Amino acid sequence: MPVFSYVTDAMVQSNVPQPTAERQRELASTLGVGGPTTGERLTVDRLREEIDADPDDSFVSMGEAIRNDLSGRLDADLLAAALPEIVAQVGRVPEVREAGIPGGKTGPEALYRGLVEPAWRVYHHLEDVGFFESVEANLPAFTPEHIAGTARELVRAEPLSTTLEECGFDERERMVLMMNVANNDTRLSRWTPTREIPEGVEFEVEYVPPLQQRAMGGALLWVQALDEHLWRKEILITDAILDDVRWDTKAMLGGLYLMALAAHDIAAGADGSLTDAQLTAALTAGTAVTIVNQEELMQDAFWITEEKRKPSEASGREEELPWQ
Amino acid sequence: MAIEDDKAIKAASDTIVEETELGYQVFNAPDEAVLHQTDTDRIPRYDVTQEMLDESGEDEESWLMFSKNYEAHRYTPCDTITKDNVGELELEYTMEIGANSSMEGSPVIVPGDPPVMYQTNGPSHVKAIDPREGDVLWSYTFPAPEDAVLCCDDNNRGVAVWKDKIYMTTLDSGVQALNRYTGEEEWYASTADHAEGYSATWAPIVWKGMLFTGSAGGEFGVRGFHCAYNAETGEELWRINNCPEEEYVGDSIEQSGGTNWMTATFDPERELLYYNVGNPSPDFNGTVRPGPNKNTCSTLCVDPHSGEVQWAHQESAHDIWDYDSASQRMIIRDLDIDHLDYSGDVVYNGGKTSWTYTMEPETGKLLVRGQPMTQQINMMTMVPHVEEERDYVMMPGLLGGNDWQPPTYCRETGLAYHKTLNTPHEIYWRNEEYRPGEKFWGGIVEVEPDEEVVPDDYNGHISAIVAVDPATGKVEWRDWIDSDRYLWGGTMSTASGLLFAGTQNGDMIAYDAANGERLWEYDLGDKAVSGDPVSWYDPGTEKQYVAIQVGGSGFVGRGPRGDQLAVFSLSA
């Protein structure tokens, strides 16, 4: 089921995700604020005015624990270098969409892969230093309470919002990212922290990476796969699919950026700019966005049903078949 | 000689195959291999050469590998039986095989005077048969271990033959080479530890002294592979994991699944190997294995000399419906795809997705995705968790579409013929309680969902035989086959434009391959015909023969067990 409708207004330059009124009401309800009035579109500023300004104590203590746990293990220079590079890749998303399907006679040229190169470097570093294990150990599962708390902290945290704006996400897109976190508690709850997978399940739990690693690594793998997928399946690919790819990829880069930003803040020690609560929110939101949008990308661009495919010049579509 | 007096057949007959909570297990198998020789002198002594294998597709007197030729066409150039005289096709004999086990295989026919048939069935049992008389010349039963666990039955789908040897995969994930004249053991190689869930049930292939074989156990959390052996000595030449480590998050690669549980296809002109890759593990809980899960549910193309992967075409990225891509690939030469202005060879297959795929052979680029062969309802949507109040009945079900059933390509019609299922399945996912070695889905599967949740659009036909044009993807004709059982087994076509297929209702059918008209039918009884038809011409008798194994198979909808080999013939 699509989470967002898309506006096709000529005033909008490309398919910008449009939060539906229902989704805005859902977000408002999660945050405990008034919903949008008729014709109103919720904004982060409007939400910030209405919610309690004091941070959640549990978010403070979780952030503090993660900082303490990872103190001295992260490479501040590597992370500092990666952050603007990720931002630069967010900025490249429109040109990649413009290119559409990678060229190449015997295999795809690198197009989408470039978008995640800086984030891969961050991921490998975080994996090497045990970042994901530490974060998973100190954060709760995606309970409705934790998700609501994260959403509230995202609204409160002006630095996070400003950073995303600088990263290339406009107001509407930031709201959509917020909703990806706040309006998906059931969906996110299926992504269980590894430590909470029941004892003795049907697979080897020791082979299941920490939740945040699955989120971040999964997002990277999906974007990385786009070159080959779009090239190999070119006969099925429509502009609508490519538009969905554009947003899903951009959103995942936003989530990856939040993860990298949080890691850098920890590495920066006293020079960090996020509060402990904001750190917790950045990690949770980054995880949530990468999860939600990798699932969206999977459904939008990889699971290409008859209804979604570019019609074949030779065989047409399913409805032409005599089923009876 | 009565089959009761054949020690190897008796050993196979005494072996009990039971569905247990772990999957399928074999009990009361012999502790050691059992060989019974009856009349080995009747087998002509000469090598099956590489040249014979290369020319197998053009030779009307033989059927030298699982799907007749390296390109896997299941097509005989023999044209003694025609559309005009197929009505005169008669049952030459039926033969009791002596094992009430899975009957999914393709016999191999080595030409000679007499020809020799090598016929296998579960559990890891093979015979040399004089197909003129239906006499067993030797028989062999492999000692299947009780702790081997099988997802879906104790199948064995056939042998490879080369020089003086035949090669059979074994339920303990091995390859057993036997002297084809005597049935005596030549070498054995274990490809993986069956205690970890690995097994083997397909027919291997041999090319220039290299034997190619895969892996099974995708429902047991294994890591799929393909490997090559020296066919003379059993020395392993190379081995590759089907799923690349760099495409997985952390240690999730260790239980990636992605097995290769059907016979590979080989392109002798390009010297490239093509094979199917199965589902990721666990089946339905994708959250523990994020990403596309390459190269599961794919066609994999590899270099036969090194195992180096050339390309992969994935049919179901991050699969959560068990849409492993199971059936054997085909290579179709000089195909004209007019709407693409393409003329050349293609790789082709049908999937559990019910789509067919026509691919460029050197890059794997998708040229044509065919029309759905069967119904697609609620397809490729998220599987609900058990705690969600959402019914989820999907079509195709987790057995396809086109599951393992090997299709045929008829050069006369230019069409491929698929056996397909059209069955709604209901699934949910959860974290299931686990017991070591137990088959797991990571969820609940209802193969017979309650009527009220079956989609209204379901047409009620459980299966179909479908003709597809690989150049356009069009479904040219379809014969719905109704039953309370599933349709298993393969198809075969002939140079005279006939299509042969057995059905789950016990019928053997010859179609006009051009339009699907049934030209001949034979009632083989109440057992499902789950084998794959083969055909050969015997100059000694001046007859064209068609043979097929009769009996159930599979873990669902298989019908009562049978143990017959039916051989039909028509004089030239």
Angle between helix A144-156 and helix A276-297 axes, rounded to 10 deg? 110
Amino acid at A154: L
What is the rounded average pLDDT of the residues A297-309?
97
Q: Is residue B437 predicted with pLDDT exceeding 90?
A: no
Rounded CA separation B91/B14 (Å): 29
Q: Is residue B417 predicted with pLDDT exceeding 70?
A: yes
Residue A186 with chain B: CB contacts under 8 Å: 388
Q: What is the mean pLDDT of chain B?
A: 94
CA distance to A37, A265, A278, A312, B368, per residue, from B471 (Å) = 56, 57, 57, 12, 7
How much is the pLDDT for B162? 98
Q: If pLDDT is split at 50, 70 and 90, which confidence band does B432 have?
A: low
Q: Is residue A321 predicted with pLDDT exceeding 60?
A: no
Q: What is the mean pLDDT of chain A?
A: 90
Is B369 in contact with A236 (Cβ distance < 8 A)? yes
Comparing A11 with B131, the larger pLDDT belongs to B131
How much is the pLDDT for B248? 97
**Chain B residues 541-560 with CB within 8 Å of chain A:** none
Is B372 in contact with A306 (Cβ distance < 8 A)? yes
Residue B85: closest CA among B568, B519, B526: B519
CA distance A282 to chain B (A): 21
Q: If pLDDT is split at 50, 70 and 90, which confidence band does A7 have?
A: very low
Task: Look at the alpha carbons of B369, B372, B377, B382 in this order and tell me if their dihedral is positive or negative.
Answer: negative
Question: Using an 8 Å Cβ cutoff, are B16 and B43 in contact?
Answer: no
What is the distance between the terminal CA atoms of chain A, rounded to a whole angstrom? 28
Q: If pLDDT is split at 50, 70 and 90, which confidence band does B306 have?
A: very high
Is A235 in contact with B291 (Cβ distance < 8 A)? no
Angle between helix A131-138 and helix A117-129 axes, rounded to 10 deg? 70
Question: Using an 8 Å Cβ cutoff, are B258 and B278 in contact?
Answer: yes
Bridge partners (DSSP) of residue B442 are none
Is B292 in contact with A221 (Cβ distance < 8 A)? yes
Residue from the list A214, A217, A299 with its beta carbon closest to the beta carbon of B287:
A214
Q: Is residue A318 predicted with pLDDT exceeding 70?
A: no
**Which tokens in the block code for residue B118?**
């090598």
How much is the pLDDT for A38? 82
Q: How many CB atoms lie within 10 A of CB B26?
A: 24
Chain B residue with minimum CA distance to A316: B371
Q: Is residue A16 predicted with pLDDT exceeding 80?
A: no
Residue B132: closest CA among B43, B2, B35, B5: B43
CA B159 to mean position of chain CA atoms: 12
Q: Is residue A138 predicted with pLDDT exceeding 80?
A: yes
What is the rounded average pLDDT of the residues A107-116?
97
Comparing B363 with B441, the larger pLDDT belongs to B363
CA distance A295 to chain B (A): 9
What is the rounded average pLDDT of the residues A263-277?
95
Q: If pLDDT is split at 50, 70 and 90, which confidence band does B549 have?
A: very high
For B117, the 3-state DSSP assignment is strand
Q: What single DSSP character describes residue A178?
A: H
Q: Is residue B456 predicted with pLDDT exceeding 50?
A: yes
Question: Using an 8 Å Cβ cutoff, are A174 and A155 in contact?
Answer: no
User: What does residue A249 show for φ and ψ, rounded to 5 degrees?
Assistant: -70, -45
How much is the pLDDT for B19? 79
Rounded CA separation B344/B360 (Å): 8
**Chain B residues 273-292 with CB within 8 Å of chain A:** 281-282, 285, 287-288, 290-292
Domains of chain B (ranges plus CATH)?
3-428+436-571 (2.140.10.10)
| Bridging pattern class, strands B393-394 and B425-429 | antiparallel
**Chain B residues 329-358 with CB within 8 Å of chain A:** 337-339
Of the candidate ranges A38-42, B196-200, B514-518, the one whose mean pLDDT is the lowest: A38-42
**pTM of the model as a whole:** 0.95
Of the candidate ranges A34-43, B193-202, B363-372, the one whose mean pLDDT is the lowest: A34-43
Q: Is residue A284 predicted with pLDDT exceeding 50?
A: yes
Amino acid at B449: P
Residue B238: CB partners within 8 Å, gap ≥ 6? Answer: B227, B228, B306, B307
Q: If pLDDT is split at 50, 70 and 90, which confidence band does B284 have?
A: confident
Q: How many CA atoms, within 13 angstroms, populate the side-chain half-sphere of residue B387?
A: 6
Residue B270 sits at the chain A interface (C-beta within 8 Å): no
Question: Using an 8 Å Cβ cutoff, are A254 and A214 in contact?
Answer: no
Task: Look at the alpha carbons of B45, B48, B51, B55 in this order and tell me if their dihedral is positive or negative.
Answer: positive
How much is the pLDDT for B115? 98
Question: Using an 8 Å Cβ cutoff, are A220 and A290 in contact?
Answer: no
What is the rounded average pLDDT of the residues B202-211?
98
Provide the percentage of residues in chain B whose pLDDT is more than 90.
82
Residue A213 with chain B: CB contacts under 8 Å: 249-250
Rounded CA separation B256/A190 (Å): 20
How much is the pLDDT for B440? 56
What are the DSSP E strand ranges found in B401-462? 408-410, 415-421, 425-429, 443-446
Question: Using an 8 Å Cβ cutoff, are B62 and B109 in contact?
Answer: yes
What is the rounded average pLDDT of the residues A51-70?
93
Residue B444 sits at the chain A interface (C-beta within 8 Å): no
Task: Name residue, tokens 């549990």.
Answer: A58
Tens of pLDDT along B25-34? 888 899 999 9
Question: Using an 8 Å Cβ cutoff, are B364 and A106 in contact?
Answer: no
Tens of pLDDT along A95-106? 999 999 999 999
How much is the pLDDT for B24? 81
CA distance A278 to chain B (A): 26
Residue B572 sits at the chain A interface (C-beta within 8 Å): no
Comparing B555 with B109, the larger pLDDT belongs to B109
Rounded CA separation A16/A227 (Å): 22
How much is the pLDDT for B443? 75
Q: Is residue B21 predicted with pLDDT exceeding 70?
A: yes
Rounded CA separation B460/B374 (Å): 11
How much is the pLDDT for A3? 32
- H runs (alpha helix) in B179-274: none
Tens of pLDDT along B155-186? 899 999 999 999 999 999 999 999 999 999 99
Residue from the list A207, A295, A315 with its beta carbon closest to the beta carbon of B255:
A207
Q: How many CA atoms, within 13 angstroms, populate the side-chain half-sphere of residue B237?
A: 22
Question: Using an 8 Å Cβ cutoff, are B353 and B396 in contact?
Answer: yes
What is the rounded average pLDDT of the residues A220-242?
98
Tens of pLDDT along B310-352? 999 999 999 999 999 899 999 999 999 999 999 999 999 999 9
Q: Is residue B370 predicted with pLDDT exceeding 70?
A: yes
Residue A206 with chain B: CB contacts under 8 Å: 251
**Chain B residues 187-206 with CB within 8 Å of chain A:** none
